[in-house]
Structure 1
Amino acid sequence: MPLPDAPAALAATAGHPSTDDGPGGGPVRSVIVGTGGIAGAHAGAVLAQGGATRLVAVVDLDRPKAEEFARAWDVPVVATDLADVLGRHQVDVVHVCTPPGTHAGLATQALAAGAHVLLEKPPALSLAEVDQVLHAQDAARGTGPGGRDPQVAVVFQHRFGAGAGRLRSLLDAGVLGRCLVARCDTQWFRPPGYFDVPWRGRWEVEGGGPTMGHGIHQFDLLLAVLGPWEEVAAMAARQDRPTDTEDVSMAVLRTEGGALVSVVNSVVSPRESSELRFDTEHATVELRHLYGYTEDSWTFTPAPGHEHLLARWQDPAATWPESGHTAQVARLVAAVRDGGDLPVPLAEARDTLELVAATYASAFTGRRVRRGDIGPGHPFYDRMDGTGAPWPPVKAPGAARSGQGVGA
């Protein structure tokens, strides 16, 4: 039996207390847009909050796909247009789980309706699009229920996992001394068939390759721990895969704190791994995992004469969740209910996206790029491929827009 569409179902529930109470009087009302693979992680994270938030609708251009998702996750309303949901129902948070090319438009639409937005990574195709959404966020101030300011947050869930906060606090307190050298490797494997999906591997749809869509989680965590980057020198190549973007990039960057960092982003590595290593004055701290980590994924090696620091790292009073969407959504729901700032605001995530743009700019021009160099008028401000990749496109013409709808 088909699930109810948005106009009928939302009209029927428009005055029902269980759907309209919202923060302060009921669960945070969440909507998922796009029912691709990552949407399940968002739905699971919502359900894991124990009733503090709930899914009130799912939106997808492919209605049968949306209905299947709704049945699987017990979502009462299905729509093919976000406007139907926003126009007929009070929504607190819109989870945008669509391809990156749709993010800016959907976020702007949700903000105009007074709703908060949680964007999957990458938050947009370019720095220009990020700034457009930030302007829309400013314009929407005071338009939410009770005069709240709608906010945009970005999914960088590794910031909320085991050990990340502890490492940052130990560095901030000076316990480990300065970070001198670091390494950030995302070496994954995507077979050639992965790029058979028409919209994959296109600059105009995905915004880039593993630098933009895969390694971004790891080096966002790196920056969350070490602070802002200062300058970068990079190389990129299409080594093997049938993609218009790179399938490998390598960069060396310097942070504002003076650490030198190497960064590898790859989708051609048969033995997959995600690794971070921080060599500080007094210890080496390492993280090894693939798509998510726990406490056991970390190792701590004190420098000679600093063995006492191991006890600080193993503090039994410190408890940290497993990395993943559930941990970040928990923080987001608490912020919505309390009227606080959403975790990983878009303005902060912009710094990570700027490193992506700078990596491409350095790789394609052969020059070092400093933080702040890429702004309006710069070729890499409007597109991540800027002046153009130094290899010809291989994706079939005419299918570039495939998958950009909310059903991808």
Structure 2
Amino acid sequence: MRTTILGTGAIAGQHARAIRELAAHGITAQVTHAVDIDADRAARFAAEHDVPRHGTSLAEALPETDVLHVCTPPGAHLDATLAALAAGVHVIVEKPAVLSLAELDRIAVAERSAAPARSGPGTARFTQVVQHRFGAGALRLRRLLDDGALGRPLVATCDTLWFRPPAYFDVPWRGRWDTEGGGPTMGHGIHQFDLLLAIFGPWTEVTAMAGRLAREVDTEDVSMAIVRFANGAMASVTNSLLSPRETSGLRFDTERATVELSHLYGYSDENWTFTPARGQDEAARLWIPEPDALPSGHTAQFVPTYQAFATGETPPVTVDDARGTLELAAAIYRSAFTGAPVRAGQIGPDDPFHESMRGTGPEWAPVKDVPAGIEEVVR
């Protein structure tokens, strides 16, 4: 399959390396085009990753593309995705998929009427990068819960405690509602609480707070939430960019065990800890590490995703999966800015938080000018 990478910043390199690694898993794919609003940056990326063609126009690359990887700032995701689906090109979008529920609902409509796929049977499909779902430990834990081996899920904590200095926000699209979509809730913690949802299932209610405590941004720099799930379990979720000792941590307490994951930007089986409950020593034998399994990361997600594209099957992460996670982000903002709990399904098309994560807005005032040129990236 011929692949185009749109947006050649830092995350694009991970995509290029993961696509090369697909060959070891029996998948033939090649990055044939690199596209960026900055022609020089596209050229440097192409030279570094041995990409035969590069330029500034997505429209010129699409006719020779089977799969589009969207690695631009979030504000440019929607238009690129819609153009690709209409052209019969599969789309893999970095997180967050888009800036709002309204935009994701537009993608869902576009996917249902997408053109026949250029490569493989069926029509073009959409998926979002949520690579932490695909580590061996996460897949094992989900399987044990599905089998009932660990009893009922009860309590969880989900912490994204990262640090971004003020200079990080000198990049003009960062820290803005209209180009990044939100602060750490949208751009950073979303990976961890996506994994939380993948393990504990659908959420039903959230109560949250958010604040701009230390960074000169329009968005929050920290948020905290309490989440209730359809199965009755409860979890706390913290998203911070103000934490000098960085860590990404999830803890899952079930009737028969505590299962913990501590890492930063990716994990292997070594990052998991399994503690059986008292009198449940047999449960410890269920946790069997797989040292040869792929760690969480883009390769682990791209292998089953490209296999699905090739066979015309549904990719392992669907637009509905992405929407459940994005809806939780919107609910965190709505609860934080209105002071009221939010239930799943409550944010409908007439709700301001459907159109923007800012919704009715926080009490603090904007501090940044709108960056120019974001819309040019897909031309």
On whether the aligned pair clears a TM of 0.5, the verdict is yes
Which of 195, 198, 221 is the equivalent residue of 2:195? 221
Displacement of 1:143 in angstroms is 5.6
Q: Using structure 2 for the length normalisation, give the TM-score.
A: 0.96
Equivalent-residue separation in structure 1 for 2:342 and 2:79 (angstroms) = 29
Tell me the equivalent position of 1:72: 48
SS of the residue aligned with 1:301?
Answer: strand
Identity of aligned residues (%): 55
Matched, 1:406 2:359: no
Tell me the equivalent position of 2:58: 82
Tell me the equivalent position of 1:12: none
Tell me the equivalent position of 2:335: 362
Amino acid in structure 2 at the alignment position of 1:350: R
Tell me the equivalent position of 1:54: 30
Displacement of 1:343 in angstroms is 2.2
Displacement of 1:314 in angstroms is 1.9
The 1:315/1:250 distance shift into structure 2, 3 A limit, reads closer
Tell me the equivalent position of 1:63: 39
Equivalent-residue separation in structure 1 for 2:2 and 2:148 (angstroms) = 41
| 8 A Cα contact 2:203 2:227, kept in partner | yes
Tell me the equivalent position of 1:10: none
Displacement of 1:144 in angstroms is 4.2
The 1:344/1:143 distance shift into structure 2, 3 A limit, reads closer
Q: Find the structure with the greater CA-based Rg.
A: 1
- The list of structure 1 runs, each at least 4 consecutive aligned residues, that deviate by more than 6 angstroms after superposition, is none
| 8 A Cα contact 2:120 2:311, kept in partner | no
Displacement of 1:333 in angstroms is 1.5
| 8 A Cα contact 2:120 2:310, kept in partner | no
Tell me the equivalent position of 1:129: 103
SS of the residue aligned with 1:38?
Answer: helix
Matched, 1:204 2:178: yes
| 8 A Cα contact 1:162 1:293, kept in partner | no
| 8 A Cα contact 1:199 1:401, kept in partner | no
Equivalent-residue separation in structure 1 for 2:274 and 2:289 (angstroms) = 12
Tell me the equivalent position of 2:11: 38
Which of 150, 153, 175 is the equivalent residue of 2:127? 153
| 8 A Cα contact 1:199 1:404, kept in partner | no
| 8 A Cα contact 1:321 1:327, kept in partner | yes
Tell me the equivalent position of 1:18: none
Tell me the equivalent position of 1:253: 227
SS of the residue aligned with 1:380?
Answer: helix
| 8 A Cα contact 1:272 1:290, kept in partner | yes
SS of the residue aligned with 2:75?
Answer: helix
Matched, 1:347 2:323: no
Residue range with higher mean Cα deviation, 133-142 or 275-284: 133-142
Equivalent-residue separation in structure 1 for 2:119 and 2:105 (angstroms) = 25
Displacement of 1:59 in angstroms is 0.7
Displacement of 1:320 in angstroms is 3.3
Displacement of 1:332 in angstroms is 1.3
Equivalent-residue separation in structure 1 for 2:348 and 2:66 (angstroms) = 32
Equivalent-residue separation in structure 2 for 1:404 and 1:212 (angstroms) = 20
SS of the residue aligned with 1:308?
Answer: helix
The 1:311/1:72 distance shift into structure 2, 3 A limit, reads same
Matched, 1:234 2:205: no
Equivalent-residue separation in structure 2 for 1:283 and 1:303 (angstroms) = 5
SS of the residue aligned with 2:258?
Answer: strand
| 8 A Cα contact 1:161 1:293, kept in partner | yes
Tell me the equivalent position of 2:247: 273
Tell me the equivalent position of 1:14: none
The 1:147/1:288 distance shift into structure 2, 3 A limit, reads closer
- Runs of at least 5 residues in structure 1 that lack an aligned partner in the other structure: 1-27
Which of 130, 145, 154 is the equivalent residue of 1:180? 154
- Give deviations 1:357-383, integer Å, cap 9, x for gaps: 000000000000000001101010000
Displacement of 1:311 in angstroms is 1.1
The 1:170/1:145 distance shift into structure 2, 3 A limit, reads closer
Equivalent-residue separation in structure 1 for 2:120 and 2:45 (angstroms) = 32
The alignment covers a number of residue pairs equal to 375
Equivalent-residue separation in structure 2 for 1:152 and 1:38 (angstroms) = 19
Equivalent-residue separation in structure 2 for 1:144 and 1:52 (angstroms) = 15
Q: Using structure 1 for the length normalisation, give the TM-score.
A: 0.89
Displacement of 1:146 in angstroms is 6.5
Displacement of 1:138 in angstroms is 1.3
Displacement of 1:148 in angstroms is 2.0
